Amino acid sequence: MPISRRNLFKAGIAAGTALSIPSVLRAQTMPTAARTVRMVKEDLRVFDPIWTATNITADHGMAIYDTLFALDSKFKPQPQMVGKWGVSDDKKTYTFELRDGLGWHDGTPVTAADCVASIRRWGQVAPGGQLLMEQARDISKKDDKTFTIALKEPLGLLIDILADLTPPCLFIMREKDASLSATEQVSTRIGSGPFKFNEALLRPGASYTYDRNEQYVPRKEAPDGFAGGKVVKVDRVVWDNISDQQTAFAALQAGEIEFLQHPPVDFFSVIESDPNLELPVLDRTGKDMLLRLNFLQKPFDNVKARQAMLHLIDQEAFMRVMVPDPKYVTTVTSIFGDETLVSNDENTGWYKKGGDPEKARQLFKEAGYAGEKVVILQSTDWAASNNGSQFLAAELRKIGVNAELAPSDWGGLTTRRANKGPVENGGWNMFITSEADYSLGNLLATPLLLANGDKAWYGWPKNDEYEALRAKWASVETLEERKALARKMQGIWWDFVGDVRLGKYIEPIAHRKTITGLIGMPQIVPMWNMQKTSA
Amino acid sequence: MAAYILRRLVSTVAVMAIVGIFIFLLLRLAPGDPAAIIAGRSATEEIIAGIREQLGLNDPMPVQFLRWVRDMLGGDFGTSIFAGRPVLELISQRLEPTLSLSILTMILAVTVGVSFGILAAWRTGGIVDRLLAAFSALGYSVPVFVSGYFLIYFFAIRTHWLPVQGYVPIDSGLGPWFVHLILPTVALSLAYIAFIARVTRASMLEVLSEDYMRTAAAKGASSYAMLFHHALKNAGVPILTVIGISFAYLIGGVVLTETVFNIPGIGRLVVDAINNRDYPIIQSVLILTSGLYVLVNLTIDLAYTLIDPRIRY
Amino acid sequence: MTLLSAPVEAVPMGRLQLSYLPRLARRHPLVLIGGGLLVLLIILALAAPLYAGDPVNIDPFKRLEPPSAEMWFGSDNLGRDVFARTIFGARISLMVGLISAACAAFAGLLIGVIAGYSRSFDNVVMRVMDGLMSIPTILLAIALISLTGPGIGILIVAIAIPETPAVARLVRSVVLSVRERPYVEAALCGGARLPRVLWRHILPSTIPALMVQGATVCASAIMTEAGLSFLGVGVPPEIPSWGNMISSSRLYLAIAPLTIFAPGICLAVTVLAVNLFGDGLRDMFDPRTRRRR
């Protein structure tokens, strides 16, 4: 085939841009506005998705890193970076082989050693990873593309654990990054994912830019959840940080941005009536709001007082305060979340409706409550906690409980909640928090369902009977058995009242109609497959 | 004279040292743990403790303080705990919006404020003077976030004449940059216009009542020449002082204005940093702003002695 | 707000003589207007429980309602009565403003008088004052408040501390000039003890300047409180304050503008009243103004 000079010239440019011109220049000249998507999410404060467990950093991780396995839209794990894998007959040794074409953004190939180091680092902090590290006899590379995990005992959930999407997720990093301790931040942003992080355009606190990774070789399968081929259909995605919701919404209406992850609830009707905008739900599983009670201090060291809270809380009213649009709110009574595989209704009938102040007042009395101060930690920079805590205090005062709000920003709250002492010494009695509904269905992903006293999450619930059941969780073989176990655990949990649920919120996102192909999954918004049409 | 300058410099260094110790102690005594914020909402205590150790937050306070001072003297203002970038780089990225807003505000405040002051001094007690007095009292009393929201409501939400909020970098076009800065500038200038107008009027009156001005008037100098040639020149020193101090003080108003109009400047940077307990950023911004203030004051004092030989210290 | 204290001349203004007050007030209507408005606001604020309704009752099912006979200014995003909150907000603003002004005036007076008399103390303390003055008020206050989290007590301290240096400087300069006066020197030579001289001769001469400066401090304290609450670090969110109201209603400017305008206008009027009062006092005490008229 004769090569025309023009084609040769073009080829030269292509090669040149790929090899010699620094990525800075290329990034600044290539993408046009028509192939750039501007999104407003939260502020990406931290870049290392293992060091921090926030959703926004997991979003960033999902863009620039790749994963060994990935959940499809039915939450079943599918191989992503892994090409072939197998398990030995005694179910104790897993062998994984990486698929072809995987390369780091710096041009070097992804190796099995990278994967082993990444698993070890993630295993220091992720609850599922910690379990894996306990059970593992050996994790090592066999050759450049193969590694094995050898277990002491069979672990039926191994692949589910590797694929889990609750942050911190198992993102594969270069060996030299992953050899840092999990409590030390990785300072480079080089992954093998479908997007490259544009360092030159980084404006911490203001904007973060992702360019399509031209070298990325997607799987052949169609995209399905986080599984399947990650085909990037835009040149560039920019995350603008607009902290003011009103401004962000105005920018969306004006077309300055195309995607708004947290549209203000009071503007839902405006969005729905705007011909240029859509308000779809990407995360159908939603978020549960919870109230943590301090088991170590009066009055909630007494189970009667904790039961009183279950009777007092009217989830509908609470959710109306925290998330004012009833269309996106449901009540939730299962400790395993509202819509997970192990959600159930065991032992919920007795308080189900809530909103019974008289019963609550009586139970507080039976608990021997005598007007002691009840301190509610209130986070003033998180609207749901700010408003919900005020409502909680008002409801408690109505039944004669001496509720006192302790307002601070979330940063201040994190310090105070670690104090196990009495309120006179800077301790606390309750605070509102949230957890993804999806994560509550997976005991290996959330620390909120522990009841081992001092080692449990803030509030330090303690119940030995419950803990004995929980120990069996990982070794249960079938889903049916796990469901039965979950029912038993929930029965006990609601007897000793490990925490109190306030309701579930499904948050829609807002985007302009020019954006199509968004993939709906819990926790993380993937940016591949997304397309931008002209106007 | 030289002795005075030396003494002044020494005391400036002392002031900065006091400020440094004060800021450091203030931040470290405050509860709030960047490690817990980094680790995320449902992280466990062990993970948080690990991060804290790595960040060096468990070192004794004097060690942390000396490390900070040593690095700062070497021009290293530290690295943001969250962004992992040098603080100076973060500050310089946020400098453009803040400087744009500050400079436009000072231009507007000085031109309008000085003109108002001269107008008022020209006919003391007249209708213009009274109107301006009323305006200045009002401008002085309306906080920037109140005037800001009024401006937004009437000039952006109701009429769509101007953008609601936001900032456009100057290299994306002078037009959009300016248009986005109109409302914030007007909101922030009100107090400064009032302030500068007052000082100008007072200084002008002072000068106009001097004997040589009366002589000039008696000799038949035109009121134009009186105001601009003689009076303004002599009233210039206090007016310049006030402008200098205003500029150094602007940062406080900038914090609020940037919040109202969502401008990604220094003000937002430091408020976010306080929420995150990102100590290196807070320390650096506080020390730099107070350094700027001290520097402006020093310059003004020294300039005084040069300009006006009557001033002795 | 940034606190540009309006220039107060540091010259001693002669001793305050109470018998002149009524006549001077007639000559200086600003004192009457500002003072009257201020007294009216204080009365309205104190009487709030008698007529304003419940400012903290949350009704999740009555959010962002338009003005009605029941709720004159409508309701906010938690279904609370905006009118009641606005009226009760005056209590917080005035209380925080007046108390922090009093604290700053007292601390400033103490420091200023001692600094004006003791050379060694002067050098150290005035450098500390310079340092405090050099940190932007609002940032200093935010940092101070982060020590304990939001609360009225810490708020007052955090507002008073940055305001103190200006008062101290002013008082110091008055003391410095007064102590050279013949009658003071005469008193000292005559064997009067220093505390007595301070009390009898020096303190009274600082009062006019202190009152004028006090009004300025009060106005800026009210603005600082509102600004800090607006930034979410001032008065605890539960307590109705104008800054809090504006802050929590920011999102609803287009839907329910009264939720922002009502507290905004009240805030401006209150600060205006204090400023007018202060201006009036300044004119009244300033010998040069008196001479000119």
* CB environment A354-376: b (16+ within 10 A), e (fewer): bbbbebbbebbeebebeebebbb
- Placement of tokens 């039915």 in the chain: A74
Smallest Cβ–Cβ distance between B290 and the set C6, C135, C246 belongs to: C135
Please name the residue of chain B whose CA is at the shortest distance from the CA of residue C253: B153
Domains with residue ranges and CATH for chain A = 64-178 (3.90.76.10), 287-505 (3.10.105.10)
Length of chain B: 313
Across the interface, do A380 and C78 touch by the CB < 8 Å criterion? no
Domain B90-307 bears CATH identifier 1.10.10.10: no
Query: Across chain B, where does the E strand assignment appear?
Result: none
- Placement of tokens 């938690």 in the chain: C78
- Is position C264 within any domain? yes
What is the number of structural domains in chain C?
Answer: 1
- The parent domain of residue C160 ranges over 29-48+73-285
HSE-CB for B55 with a 13 A CA cutoff: 26
C216 residue type, one letter: T
- Is position C212 within any domain? yes
Which residues partner with A531 through β-bridges?
A516
**C-beta separation of C158 from C141 below 8 A:** yes
Going by their DSSP bridges, the two strands A373-379 and A430-436 should be labelled as parallel
Higher pLDDT among residues B213 and B25, named by residue: B25
- Is position C255 within any domain? yes
What are the distances in angstroms from CA B269 to CA A248, B23, B87, B146, C42? 18, 17, 10, 22, 38
Across the interface, do C238 and A390 touch by the CB < 8 Å criterion? yes
Phi, psi for B191 (deg, rounded to 5): -65, -40
- Is position C174 within any domain? yes
Question: What pLDDT does residue A18 have?
Answer: 37
The Cα A257–Cα A308 span in angstroms is 47
Shortest distance between the Cα of B23 and any Cα of chain C, in A, equals 8
Question: What pLDDT does residue C188 have?
Answer: 74
Find the farthest-apart pair of alpha carbons in chain B and give their distance in angstroms, rounded. Answer: 86
- Is position C270 within any domain? yes
Across the interface, do C150 and A380 touch by the CB < 8 Å criterion? yes
Domain ranges of chain B: 2-73, 90-307
CATH number for the domain spanning C217: value is 1.10.3720.10
SS3 for C75? strand
At A23, list the tokens. Answer: 């990525």
pTM of the model: 0.81
**Residue A5 pLDDT grade (very low, low, confident, very high; cuts 50, 70, 90):** very low
- Placement of tokens 């020197």 in the chain: C185
Please name the residue of chain C whose CA is at the shortest distance from the CA of residue B12: C127
Give the C-side interface with A, CB within 8 Å. Answer: 56-58, 60-61, 63-64, 77-78, 146, 149-151, 232-233, 236-238, 250-255
**Does the pLDDT value for residue A29 go beyond 50?**
no
SS3 for A434? strand
- Is position C12 within any domain? no
- Placement of tokens 């946020």 in the chain: B94
**Does the pLDDT value for residue A530 go beyond 90?**
yes
Smallest Cβ–Cβ distance between A393 and the set C63, C238, C252 belongs to: C238
Model pLDDT for residues A315-345, shown as the tens digit of each residue: 999 998 888 888 999 999 899 998 888 999 9
- Write down the ipTM of this complex: 0.82
The Cα B261–Cα B255 span in angstroms is 10
* Residue pLDDT tens, chain C, 293 long: 333 344 444 444 445 555 666 666 667 778 888 888 999 999 999 998 888 888 888 888 888 888 988 888 998 888 899 999 999 999 999 999 999 999 999 999 999 888 887 878 888 888 888 888 888 888 888 888 877 777 888 899 999 998 999 899 888 888 888 877 787 778 777 777 777 777 777 788 888 888 888 998 999 999 999 999 998 888 888 889 999 999 888 888 888 899 999 999 999 999 999 998 988 888 777 655 544 43
- Is position C231 within any domain? yes
The Cα A35–Cα A268 span in angstroms is 27
Please name the residue of chain C whose CA is at the shortest distance from the CA of residue B201: C7
**C-beta separation of B43 from B33 below 8 A:** no
- Is position C3 within any domain? no
Question: What pLDDT does residue C139 have?
Answer: 84
